[in-house]
């Protein structure tokens, strides 16, 4: 299977998980995924996790947790050799040691996360209009 097609499929599946879990909060999901995408593109994977971890408004926190969990799961399924941890501090260490320690892996996961967040953003827009 072509890697590009596989990444695209994984991004679609991850975006659908986020949207299905947050169906009632589409505005929040759209706004957070847009902001998280900007952080991924401007500052990288680690910064995007920090951004999602620092959301304080209750509804933002729920959506941010769902987005963060789904992104980490998709990265682990794609490439990371170790099972991802479930505590927030350990998640940051996991991204540092298992993903960002290797440039090729970092770029692959970054592409996956960017595509996932793009699909999430536009999926939320489409669902709001229907």
Distance CA 55, CA 68 (A): 11
**Domain range for residue 44?**
3-129
Half-sphere exposure of 86 (CA within 13 A, CB side): 0
> What pLDDT digit, counting tens, does each position of 108-129 carry?
999 999 999 999 999 999 998 8
- How many structural domains compose the chain? 1
pLDDT in tens, 66-94: 999 999 999 988 775 677 788 888 889 88
**Whole-angstrom distance, CA of residue 127 vs CA of residue 19:** 9
Would you say the C-alpha torsion 90, 94, 97, 103 has a positive or negative sign?
negative
Per-residue pLDDT, 89: 85
CATH number at residue 113: 1.10.520.30
């Amino acid at each position: 299977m072509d890697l590009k097609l596989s990444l695209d499929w994984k991004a679609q599946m991850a975006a659908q998980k986020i949207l299905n879990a947050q169906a009632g909060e589409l505005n929040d999901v759209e706004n957070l995924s847009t902001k998280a995408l900007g952080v991924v593109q401007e500052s990288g994977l680690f910064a995007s996790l920090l951004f999602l971890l620092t959301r304080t408004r209750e509804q933002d926190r729920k959506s941010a947790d769902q987005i963060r969990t789904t992104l980490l799961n998709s990265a682990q399924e794609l490439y990371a050799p170790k099972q991802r941890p479930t505590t927030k501090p350990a998640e940051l260490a996991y991204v540092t040691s298992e993903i960002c320690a290797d440039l090729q892996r970092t770029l692959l996961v970054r592409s996956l996360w960017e595509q996932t967040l793009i699909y999430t953003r536009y999926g939320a827009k489409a669902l709001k209009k229907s």
